[in-house]
Structure 1
Amino acid sequence: MSRTQDPHRPSFPFGNAFRILPKGSSLSSKLAETLTKFEEKLGDRLSKLVPDNKNDVVSLSWMRRAIQSLCETHTDIKDVIAELHPVSDWDEKWVDVYLDNSVKLLDICIAFSSELSRLNQGHLLLQFVLHNLDASSSKQLMRASSSLDGWRQHISSKNPRVEDCHSILDNLIQSLNLPKVKHSAKGKVLMRAMYGVKVQTVCICNMIAAAFCGPARKLTDLHIDEKEKYLWANAFKELQIRVNTEIRDLFCTGRSTVLKELEAVDTSVKALEPMTRDGVKPDEANLFQDRVADLGNGAEKLSRGLDLLTKEVDHFFQIVLSGRDALLCTLRVSSTNSEIPESKAKGRTLFSF
């Protein structure tokens, strides 16, 4: 993908999604403090995700920190819900949107787990390569060459679940404007806080999906309403500009992946392929051993990074699971005029978004 091939990148201005206060009204000091504390912490987390240099975009370690940040934010919104209890102005329309978005986010998390598992499966091929490269007999070099080719094919194959993230993310982006809460100050605070959660979640998932999908995934620039004065707005804009710009620049060079650890292994594989295919010349013995060592180190770092990120995704799943459970319990207890229909609550996978 190049800039000339993609001149019009999609962007979705969110508009005036959560104008927290109508003219002439105000929040109580306690509600204002709750909202300010949440937005300041969200802004600090987003700032910490801004990469220090280009080499950190996009690495598995950065992805892990990004998911950790989502875990912290979803834990925070759970605390906000507890502080605002009871919230009685939730209507069925908002609950429907909330549950629909939850299913979409669940699908994205399943897709990410699937891709991490697929990438980790390639580690077995690399281990077989390294085993055969312990000696430089022609038979073992042929086996190593075949395994290297198998690894390249495996890594370049497409994962339908990840590719499905394209439409799911676009739908989530377009659904960021949730129905407004008109008469409840608590409801307004929670809706505004939830908006921040959704923006961070969609933004990070959008970046990770692009890194997994390669050039096929067109990054979407998210835009927030400047009039709302979100305390996390500047940090969010800086993060999005830095990461999205670097991802696009990397893809413009013709790379099929922007994952640093995966790219390092691929570089080692390309360097070893001619030697395993054509044989190691006498004067290349030291160079051959150095390249084998590079592949071994790169493969170990990739495997370790995939394992740590997989654990963090699982952790995120559990946190948001309990978060949505807490919110649904609050709705059931506090709603006096409109209960959540059992047919909608029963059988749903509990997931927070």
Structure 2
Amino acid sequence: MSRPQEPHRPFFPFGNPFRMISPKGSTLSPQLLAVLHAFEITLGERLKKLMPKSNDEILSLSWMSLAMQMLSETHNDIKTLITDLDLPVHDWDEKWIDVYLDISVKLLDICIAFSSELSRLNQGNLLLQCALHNLNSASSNQFSRARSSLDGWKQHIGSRNPRIEKCGGILDNLVGSLDLPKVKKSPKGKVLMQAMYGVKVQTVFVCSVFAVAFSSSTKNLVDLEVAETYRWAPEFKRLHNLVNEELRVRFSGGRFTVLKELEAVDSAFKELYPIIPDVADPIGAELDLKTVEQLGRATEKFMEGLDLLAKGVDGFFQVVLAGRDALLSNLRSGGTVYDHVSGGNIGAQAVN
């Protein structure tokens, strides 16, 4: 169950997020620079892996699964970076903790929304399987039953998921969280905040694209500007511009969906449905089996893609949850932990 939607507000307006964190005249040690450089180079390589070879690959379920895998790996890298910095949690600035906890709970909510949509799409596939079963059986009512199942699929797939509709507000808050807390006296803190910025940019971008794909609307599309000072900026800009532009082009054409595999199912459905005999008795009625097989293949491929993506979303959920639990555990070991954002005892709050 998702947490109640909080009022719309930016998270932490600490200033311009598109500037370098280190003020003029400040320097980082070679060791800290090496840690930061390694993180940013790896982030750039991951973004490069997401560059599709052709526009047709964009919003395929395999591409979305790769995007979720890359996101999980980047979030795991933050744990490694903190270890490399030797920056114990009890030395974190209170603002950093607030940022992390607020963002993590929003990400858990958005993962729950994505998982619910994947489950909804899979429920629609059950109707398709039922239709295919009837079309391949010898039942006297096979055609009418198949039509009924296909009618149910069309109605189901065209409905809206309330949880996905709420993703826009969550994304607005995540965009607000891109503002970076000021770091004055901690070189390690500056490295952590700069790395966190890269993580947040990648996260907002991927979640925005997923929300657009699942809502079949560009209203959740987020345009991000990143300063050239970040090593991963060129890779991000190329990926960001290509994907966002392609999404706008597809929706401008009034397409039913931007999910490649779902488009294939819908195309096969449109070809099959009109030629199903509208009779209860199949005697003398003929059906082109090639169109039935085409829908069967498209449905199977769609189901396989959904299963792979669902595992990726669940994996990302577990990464975020594990990171949040580890932080809270470390904080509790040093005393009572309070959620500075909500004003309550965060240890007593459950993330549903």
TM-score, scaled to structure 1: 0.86
- 1:139 Cα deviation after fit: 2.7
In the alignment, which residue of structure 2 is the partner of 1:9? none
Letter paired with 2:183: V
In the alignment, which residue of structure 2 is the partner of 1:7? none
In the alignment, which residue of structure 2 is the partner of 1:309? 309
For residues 155 and 56 of structure 1, do their structure 2 counterparts lie closer, same or farther at Cα, with a shift above 3 Å needed?
A: same
> After alignment, is 40-49 or 14-23 more displaced?
14-23
In the alignment, which residue of structure 2 is the partner of 1:5? none
For residues 26 and 316 of structure 1, do their structure 2 counterparts lie closer, same or farther at Cα, with a shift above 3 Å needed?
A: same
- 1:326 Cα deviation after fit: 3.5
Task: Indicate which of 131, 146, 161 corresponds to 1:129.
Answer: 131
Alignment partners' CA distance in 1, 2:351 and 2:20:
28
Question: How much is the aligned-residue C-alpha RMSD, in angstroms?
Answer: 2.5
In the alignment, which residue of structure 1 is the partner of 2:199? 197
Larger helix fraction of residues: 1
For residues 157 and 170 of structure 1, do their structure 2 counterparts lie closer, same or farther at Cα, with a shift above 3 Å needed?
A: same
In the alignment, which residue of structure 2 is the partner of 1:237? 237
Letter paired with 1:185: P
Structure 1 contact 90–331 (Cα < 8 Å) conserved: no
In the alignment, which residue of structure 2 is the partner of 1:56? 57
In the alignment, which residue of structure 1 is the partner of 2:251? 251
Alignment partners' CA distance in 2, 1:123 and 1:339:
48
Structure 2 contact 107–320 (Cα < 8 Å) conserved: no
> After alignment, is 26-35 or 213-222 more displaced?
213-222
Letter paired with 1:276: I
Alignment partners' CA distance in 2, 1:177 and 1:339:
28
In the alignment, which residue of structure 2 is the partner of 1:142? 144
Alignment partners' CA distance in 1, 2:330 and 2:28:
21
Q: Which runs of 5+ in 1 are unaligned?
A: 1-13
Say if 2:158 is the partner of 1:156.
Answer: yes
In the alignment, which residue of structure 1 is the partner of 2:32? 31
Structure 1 contact 209–217 (Cα < 8 Å) conserved: no
In the alignment, which residue of structure 1 is the partner of 2:320? 320
Letter paired with 1:142: S
Say if 2:113 is the partner of 1:111.
Answer: yes
In the alignment, which residue of structure 1 is the partner of 2:6? none
Q: Secondary structure at the match of 1:230?
A: coil
Letter paired with 1:291: T
- 1:340 Cα deviation after fit: 4.2
Alignment partners' CA distance in 2, 1:349 and 1:44:
36
In the alignment, which residue of structure 2 is the partner of 1:4? none
Identity %: 56
Say if 2:338 is the partner of 1:341.
Answer: yes
In the alignment, which residue of structure 1 is the partner of 2:296? 296
- 1:135 Cα deviation after fit: 4.5
Alignment partners' CA distance in 1, 2:245 and 2:168:
19
For residues 323 and 257 of structure 1, do their structure 2 counterparts lie closer, same or farther at Cα, with a shift above 3 Å needed?
A: same
Structure 1 contact 63–309 (Cα < 8 Å) conserved: yes
Q: Secondary structure at the match of 2:44?
A: helix
For residues 168 and 277 of structure 1, do their structure 2 counterparts lie closer, same or farther at Cα, with a shift above 3 Å needed?
A: farther
Say if 2:99 is the partner of 1:97.
Answer: yes
What does the per-residue CA deviation read over 1:197-232, in whole Å, with 9 as the maximum and x for residues that have no partner? 000011000001000001263412111133xx1111
Q: Secondary structure at the match of 2:128?
A: helix
State how many pairs are aligned.
331
Q: Which runs of 5+ in 2 are unaligned?
A: 1-14
Alignment partners' CA distance in 1, 2:71 and 2:201:
11
Alignment partners' CA distance in 1, 2:285 and 2:147:
20
- 1:234 Cα deviation after fit: 0.5
What does the per-residue CA deviation read over 1:260-291, in whole Å, with 9 as the maximum and x for residues that have no partner? 11110011111111112546998974xx1111
In the alignment, which residue of structure 2 is the partner of 1:8? none
Structure 1 contact 324–350 (Cα < 8 Å) conserved: no
Structure 1 contact 145–277 (Cα < 8 Å) conserved: no
- 1:341 Cα deviation after fit: 3.2
For residues 159 and 290 of structure 1, do their structure 2 counterparts lie closer, same or farther at Cα, with a shift above 3 Å needed?
A: same
For residues 220 and 54 of structure 1, do their structure 2 counterparts lie closer, same or farther at Cα, with a shift above 3 Å needed?
A: same
TM-score, scaled to structure 2: 0.87
- 1:344 Cα deviation after fit: 3.8
